[in-house]
């Protein structure tokens, strides 16, 4: 069992009359457990060209057996006009401008008809499209397990 | 102009052979600029005890932040499930336009950009009718 923590600090000294200082730390646990940590993860870096909506994180039947998965994405560009649109099931979540990050739970909760690019029959891919310029993104998923695909030449 | 920062740290000493340590800070700015966001809902707290999907952040309204949060603007949402973890089976699902994004178990938080727009409410759907407390905050332009 692994111990993985995710912490956030939101702070501002001039947004409100008083200082804003909010911190929270969570442990990434498996579903149905009180203290068993997630023990698998992927950590990637990718260049996202403009003009196409890409699958960033492929759905996997194993991911929705519990729904305790977490995704982190950051746009590493530095030009403030560069952004990526992040979607799930074609539903736009929001835009990550240069330097922005997001951290969300990912339950991959739906089931649909399997397709050529969708072998598990689930459409809950996390998708990404870059605008203005190619964007470099880094992303990680902490999860309980992915369905491994049988090699086509096996 | 205000300066508001969001810092994330992801760390694990034993998940992999080498320690994992990811840390990044972003400054919350208006869309496509380096001008800081100057509006916020402030930190809000909501208790509920039902297992039906309901709207946490409503885009059905014509005024207030509903009118301010749109795809071409910048907005960030923080939500935390304040409940204890319990036996690890209870959660609240967070949805946009009734599409499930993920599940916040007791003690879990999330932070994400929000495009908003018509019908793009942020909804909550609890696992059961256990009393649950959420804290949430929106930063927007």
- Give the tens place of pLDDT for each residue, B65-82: 666 677 778 899 999 999
List the one residue out of A104, A105, A126, A122 whose CA is nearest residue A113.
A122
Interface test with A, best of B22, B112, B126, B134 (most A CBs within 10 A): B112
Look at residue B66 in the predicted model and tell me its pLDDT: 60
B116: its two tokens = 């908003």
- Classify strands A101-105 and A70-75 as parallel, antiparallel or unpaired: antiparallel
Angle, alpha carbons A86-A24-B50 (nearest 5°): 75
Which residues have CB under 8 Å from A55's CB, separation 6+?
A: A117, A125, A126, A127
- Rounded percentage of chain A residues whose pLDDT exceeds 70: 87
List the one residue out of A139, A130, A75, A78 whose CA is nearest residue A104.
A139
Look at residue A146 in the predicted model and tell me its pLDDT: 78
Does domain B39-140 fall into CATH 1.10.1370.30? no
Domain locations in chain B as residue ranges: 39-140
Determine whether the interchain pair A104/B93 forms a contact, defined as Cβ–Cβ distance below 8 Å: no
Task: Using pLDDT thresholds of 50, 70 and 90, give the confidence band for residue B32.
Answer: very high
Task: Using pLDDT thresholds of 50, 70 and 90, give the confidence band for residue A132.
Answer: very high
Average of pLDDT values for B50-72?
A: 75
A24: its two tokens = 């929270």
Determine whether the interchain pair A26/B109 forms a contact, defined as Cβ–Cβ distance below 8 Å: yes
In B, which residues are within 8 Å of A26 by CB distance?
Answer: 107-109
Q: What global pTM score does this model have?
A: 0.94
CA A9 to chain centre: 19
Does A88 have pLDDT greater than 70?
Answer: yes
Radius of gyration of chain A (CA): 17
Angle, alpha carbons A85-B59-A122 (nearest 5°): 50
Adjacent-strand bridge partners of A38: none
- Rounded percentage of chain B residues whose pLDDT exceeds 90: 72
- A104 closest CB neighbour out of B31, B91, B112: B112
Look at residue A109 in the predicted model and tell me its pLDDT: 61
In B, which residues are within 8 Å of A102 by CB distance?
Answer: 111-113
Q: Does any CB of chain A come closer than 8 Å to the CB of residue B82?
A: no
Task: Using pLDDT thresholds of 50, 70 and 90, give the confidence band for residue B3.
Answer: very high
C-beta of residue A34 within 8 angstroms of C-beta of residue A40: no
C-beta of residue B128 within 8 angstroms of C-beta of residue B90: yes
Q: Determine which of A75-79, A87-91, B1-5 has the lowest per-residue pLDDT on average.
A: A87-91
What residue ranges define each of the domains in chain A, with the CATH number in brackets? 40-143 (2.60.120.10)
C-beta of residue A53 within 8 angstroms of C-beta of residue B72: no
B57: its two tokens = 């952040």
The helix/strand/coil state of A60 is coil
Looking at CA atoms only, how far is residue A149 from chain B in angstroms? 23
Q: Mean pLDDT across chain A, nearest whole number?
A: 88
B29: its two tokens = 């700015």
Look at residue A47 in the predicted model and tell me its pLDDT: 98
- Its ipTM equals 0.95
B26: its two tokens = 């972003």
Look at residue B1 in the predicted model and tell me its pLDDT: 79
pLDDT in tens, A28-87: 999 989 899 999 999 999 999 999 999 898 877 677 766 789 999 999 999 999 999 999
In A, which residues are within 8 Å of B104 by CB distance?
Answer: 105
The CA distance from A86 to A73, in Å, is: 9
How many other CB atoms are found less than 10 A from the CB of residue A133?
A: 15
Look at residue B116 in the predicted model and tell me its pLDDT: 82
Task: Using pLDDT thresholds of 50, 70 and 90, give the confidence band for residue A108.
Answer: low
B36 to chain A: closest CA residue: A15
Adjacent-strand bridge partners of B117: none
Q: Does any CB of chain A come closer than 8 Å to the CB of residue B136?
A: no
Helix ranges restricted to H, chain B? 65-68
C-beta of residue B19 within 8 angstroms of C-beta of residue B85: no
The CA distance from A150 to B17, in Å, is: 27
Looking at CA atoms only, how far is residue A151 from chain B in angstroms? 25
Average of pLDDT values for B133-141?
A: 93
How many other CB atoms are found less than 10 A from the CB of residue A131?
A: 16
Q: Determine which of B67-76, B86-95, B96-105 has the lowest per-residue pLDDT on average.
A: B67-76
The CA distance from A41 to A18, in Å, is: 39
Which residues have CB under 8 Å from A9's CB, separation 6+?
A: A21, A22, A23, B5, B6, B7
């Amino acid at each position: 069992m692994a111990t993985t923590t995710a912490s956030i600090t939101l702070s501002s000294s001039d947004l409100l009359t008083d200082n804003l200082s909010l911190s929270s730390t969570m442990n990434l646990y498996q579903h149905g457990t009180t203290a068993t940590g997630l023990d698998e993860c992927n950590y990637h870096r990718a260049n996202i060209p403009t003009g196409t909506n890409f699958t960033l994180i492929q759905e996997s039947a194993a991911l929705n057996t519990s729904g305790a998965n977490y995704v982190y994405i950051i746009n590493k560009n530095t030009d403030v006009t560069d952004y990526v649109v992040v979607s799930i099931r074609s539903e736009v979540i929001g835009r990550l401008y240069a330097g922005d990050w997001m951290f969300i739970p990912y339950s991959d909760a739906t089931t649909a008809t399997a397709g050529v690019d969708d072998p598990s029959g689930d459409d809950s891919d996390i998708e990404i499209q870059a605008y203005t310029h190619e964007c470099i993104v880094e992303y990680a998923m902490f999860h309980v397990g992915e369905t491994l695909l049988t090699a086509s030449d096996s | 102009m205000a300066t508001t920062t969001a810092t994330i740290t992801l760390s694990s000493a034993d998940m992999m052979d080498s320690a994992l340590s990811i840390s990044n800070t972003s400054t919350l700015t208006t869309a496509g600029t380096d001008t800081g966001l100057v509006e916020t809902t402030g930190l809000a707290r909501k208790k509920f005890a039902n297992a039906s999907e309901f709207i946490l952040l409503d885009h059905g309204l014509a005024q207030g932040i509903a009118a301010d949060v749109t795809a071409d603007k910048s907005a960030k949402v923080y939500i935390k499930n304040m409940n204890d973890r319990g036996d690890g089976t209870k959660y609240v699902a967070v949805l946009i336009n009734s599409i499930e994004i993920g599940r916040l178990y007791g003690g879990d938080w999330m932070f994400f950009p929000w495009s908003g727009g018509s019908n793009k409410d942020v909804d909550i759907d609890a696992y059961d009718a256990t009393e649950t407390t959420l804290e949430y905050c929106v930063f927007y332009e």
